């Protein structure tokens, strides 16, 4: 995704919250505690007090007891969409394996939609709705290790909400129906029933969408076929052959025309409004170079059997798995702008490059909780930088990534509160990418860096992970202790400051890091731009000799995202 609503939650307290918060903290991985000491206080404003999460956010965000007791296997979402009545109806067949004996599981469906019935075989199940959650009760205990399928029937007028629409019944410029979903923020249960959380994904999914004849539905996965239902509707069937995030599941219904291409064995399919066909054929040619660049760094496109698609929509874009939606007006930059303001972004289409980068980070490697969404956005923003490096060279890449500095706010840590469906601040994008660029300089060996990030992707592809997994992997592969670096950039608001005290008379400079992490230690290039010298500052003062005067002494701030203070 690019550009979310960074709204604050309403304050709401309940006994239930205390119950869930306790249940969740028992399972959550330990947070790194790193209180700032007086000696190591970073120069940042105190972080805003987090708002108390609303009950609905806890219900959706927590991996509670009725989620943890089961493991998703597959969905078959089978719905009918009526553009005139702005009404949807149908069912999701949910196949899951019980991990513990139990009589209750938690699914989710937005309160705006009706639960029509929930069946296990032919038996109708009882359920209890609580905000967006639907607790389904079984008459007899389900058994650990056994697989079950329930059919969840629902209907109603789905909500058009949030910046990208949730579920939108729109019209194209010619007045024809244009219906689409984009629900990463509000959650997929805004339009279909599912286990609406990030940790657990189905292994595969069928999507069947019945729509009035003459319209086209583009959903995720491989197009299986369409069937005339004989009542003025045609059902479009799609098959997702890989794990998929709930919010990636999408339908895009419109008067689309289709053209296709091929990259090796990978089918490339493009769906646009007829009036945009010529522009699209030109602009979407960038897809090939993008896939080649990302394959160069990380390996094969993750959803080979499902193919790669770009689908025109009226909002800017979204990384819907294997069916990336596109609304960047068939021009380079981002919505016509030079996105990072340094002259590089006008060379490519930001939405094609960014949203498709999520196929590797976001869709293949996924975060297990929304709090750690930098794994999607920080990495994908860094993938933009790699695309620039591969396509236009290293100099442009450095220019491009440093252009992001102006967008960094340093107001809240990148990693948000866990288990409450919290949206991290937008620093997860820009500061996240600048941090990874910094890490590359810390590794200080490009061959090693590229092998490291390639292997990191390969190790975690098709998995849902947390920041702890990332840090443990990097530590293990490098033999370094990078935890204080990850923690400083991701769990604190301030970036580190390199403090320099010049003793020009003696030809010396004292140096240390000012950082929140007491053990923060990061090598950095200093001295003369043409002949950098690497020093190993910690949070304690050290002294080095230098023939350079204060105003001649440089720090490689293009390669490391740090502040420098000279005295």
Chain contacts with Zn ion (rule: CB under 5 A): 1-2, 377
- Taking the complex as a whole, the smallest distance from the CB of residue 378 to Zn ion amounts, in Å, to 10
The pair phi, psi for residue 144, each rounded to 5°, is -55, 135
Q: Give the Cα separation of 246 and 201 in Å (integer).
A: 7
Q: Which residues contact 458 (CB under 8 A, 6 or more apart)?
A: 298, 299
The pair phi, psi for residue 522, each rounded to 5°, is -140, 125
Degrees, nearest 5: CA angle 21-22-26: 115
Specify the residue, 344 or 351, whose C-beta has the smaller distance to Zn ion: 351
Answer left, alpha or beta for residue 299, where phi above 0 means left and psi between -120 and 50 means alpha.
left
Q: Which residue is nearest to Zn ion (CB)?
A: 1
- Taking the complex as a whole, the smallest distance from the CB of residue 120 to Zn ion amounts, in Å, to 38
- Taking the complex as a whole, the smallest distance from the CB of residue 84 to Zn ion amounts, in Å, to 34
Specify the residue, 345 or 488, whose C-beta has the smaller distance to Zn ion: 345
Helix residue ranges, H only, 321-406: 350-357, 374-392, 394-403
Specify the residue, 108 or 369, whose C-beta has the smaller distance to Zn ion: 369
Helix residue ranges, H only, 444-515: 446-460, 467-478, 483-491
Residue count (the chain): 567
Specify the residue, 2 or 400, whose C-beta has the smaller distance to Zn ion: 2
Specify the residue, 325 or 539, whose C-beta has the smaller distance to Zn ion: 325
Specify the residue, 1 or 420, whose C-beta has the smaller distance to Zn ion: 1
Q: Give the Cα separation of 269 and 181 in Å (integer).
A: 19
- Taking the complex as a whole, the smallest distance from the CB of residue 392 to Zn ion amounts, in Å, to 21
Q: Could you identify the residue written with the tokens 């009760």? A: 137
- Taking the complex as a whole, the smallest distance from the CB of residue 490 to Zn ion amounts, in Å, to 17
- Taking the complex as a whole, the smallest distance from the CB of residue 387 to Zn ion amounts, in Å, to 14
DSSP 93-111: EEEEEESS-EEEEEEE--T
At residue 141, the 3 state secondary structure works out as strand
- Taking the complex as a whole, the smallest distance from the CB of residue 347 to Zn ion amounts, in Å, to 20
Specify the residue, 381 or 546, whose C-beta has the smaller distance to Zn ion: 381
């Amino acid at each position: 995704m690019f550009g979310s609503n960074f709204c604050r939650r309403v304050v709401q307290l309940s006994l239930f919250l205390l119950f869930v918060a306790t249940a969740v903290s028992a399972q959550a991985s330990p947070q790194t505690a790193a209180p700032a000491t007086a000696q190591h206080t970073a120069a940042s404003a105190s972080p805003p007090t987090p708002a108390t999460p609303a009950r609905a956010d806890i219900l959706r965000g927590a991996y509670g007891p009725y989620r943890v007791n089961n493991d998703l296997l597959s969905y078959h979402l089978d719905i009918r969409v009526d553009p005139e009545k702005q009404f949807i109806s149908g069912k999701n067949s949910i196949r899951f394996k019980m991990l513990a004996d139990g009589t209750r599981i938690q699914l989710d469906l937005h309160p705006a939609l009706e639960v029509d019935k929930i069946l296990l075989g032919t038996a109708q199940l009882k359920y209890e709705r609580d905000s967006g959650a639907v607790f389904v009760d079984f008459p007899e205990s389900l058994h650990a290790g056994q697989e079950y399928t329930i059919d969840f029937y629902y209907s109603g007028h789905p909500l058009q909400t949030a910046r990208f629409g949730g579920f939108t019944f729109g019209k194209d410029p010619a007045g024809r129906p244009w219906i689409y979903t984009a629900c990463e923020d509000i959650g997929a249960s805004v339009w279909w029933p599912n286990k609406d959380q990030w940790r657990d994904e189905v292994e595969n999914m069928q999507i069947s969408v019945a729509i009035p004849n003459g319209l086209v539905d583009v959903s995720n996965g491989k197009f299986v076929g369409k069937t005339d239902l004989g009542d003025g509707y045609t059902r479009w069937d799609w098959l997702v052959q890989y794990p998929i995030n709930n919010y990636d599941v999408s339908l895009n219904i419109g008067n689309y025309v289709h053209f296709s291409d091929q990259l090796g064995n990978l089918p490339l399919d493009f769906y646009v409004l007829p009036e945009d066909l010529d522009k699209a054929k030109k602009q979407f040619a960038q897809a090939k170079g993008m896939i080649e660049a990302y394959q160069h760094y990380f390996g094969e496109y993750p959803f080979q059997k499902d193919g790669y698609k770009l689908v025109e929509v009226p909002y800017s874009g979204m990384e819907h798995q294997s069916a990336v939606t596109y609304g960047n007006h068939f021009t380079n930059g981002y919505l016509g702008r030079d996105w990072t303001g340094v002259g590089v972004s006008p060379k490519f289409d930001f939405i094609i490059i960014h949203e498709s980068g999520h196929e590797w980070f976001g869709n293949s490697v996924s975060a297990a909780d929304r709090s750690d969404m930098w794994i999607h956005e920080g990495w994908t923003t860094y993938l933009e930088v790699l695309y620039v490096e591969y396509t236009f060279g290293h100099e442009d890449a450095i220019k491009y990534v440093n252009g992001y500095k102006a967008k960094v706010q340093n107001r809240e840590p990148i990693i948000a509160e866990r288990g409450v469906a919290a949206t991290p601040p937008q620093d997860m994008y820009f500061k996240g990418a600048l941090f990874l660029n910094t890490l590359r300089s810390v590794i200080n060996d490009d061959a090693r860096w590229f092998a490291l990030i390639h292997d990191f992707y390969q190790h975690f592809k098709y998995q849902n992970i947390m920041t702890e997994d990332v840090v443990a992997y990097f530590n293990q592969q490098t033999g370094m202790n990078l935890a204080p670096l990850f923690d400083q950039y991701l769990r604190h608001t301030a970036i580190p400051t390199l403090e320099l005290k010049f003793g020009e008379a003696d030809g010396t400079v004292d140096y240390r890091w000012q950082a929140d992490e007491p053990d923060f230690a990061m090598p950095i290039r200093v001295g003369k731009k043409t002949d950098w010298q690497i020093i190993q500052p910690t949070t304690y003062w050290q002294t080095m000799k230098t023939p350079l005067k204060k105003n001649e002494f440089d720090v490689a701030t293009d390669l490391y995202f740090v502040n420098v203070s000279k005295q």
